[in-house]
Structure 1
Amino acid sequence: MRTILVALGLAALILAGLMVTGMVSIDQTRPAVVQAPKFKADVGKVELGTTNKTVEVPTLQVEKADGAKQQ
């Protein structure tokens, strides 16, 4: 029972976050008088892509101190 409540709470928080950022917009299109209310939901779109790029990576050189022991 606790797991279900936690899952519902997380779902509510995620939905609230999406509504705040504008990714989800829910509008009531028919009032709830005798019939069940009707809602229309517009959701945002996310597109993913890839790009090949060449990136310079720094090199690292380590030198032992003059008095260091050889192993």
Structure 2
Amino acid sequence: MRAILAIIGLAVIVILAMAWLGMINLNLRSGALPEVKVEGGKAPAVQADVGKVDMGYTNKTIQVPTVVMENKTIQVPRVEVEKARQPVEAN
């Protein structure tokens, strides 16, 4: 599929390049679409039997994982920052 799209894209680029270089002269004439009259008509009748979908809740017992939280003392990284002293101004 990609190969077909690549070939079509390459063909369009080649045609545009040839037209730009003057190797192809495209003479476009004004045109018009044909007129179409729509008269009467009726959509076809369709009868269909469809299934029924019912939604609701029911109670079931299932296994659910639980998480227990407890406090422990551990070592964590610590960063201390000491600000630089301000220079003393001479009076």
Task: Place the TM-score, normalised by the shorter chain, in its bin.
Answer: 0.3 to 0.5
Using CA pairs under 8 Å that are at least 6 residues apart, name the structure with larger relative contact order, 1 or 2.
Answer: 1
TM-score, L = length of structure 1: 0.43
TM-score, L = length of structure 2: 0.34
| Structure in which a larger fraction of residues adopt strand | 1
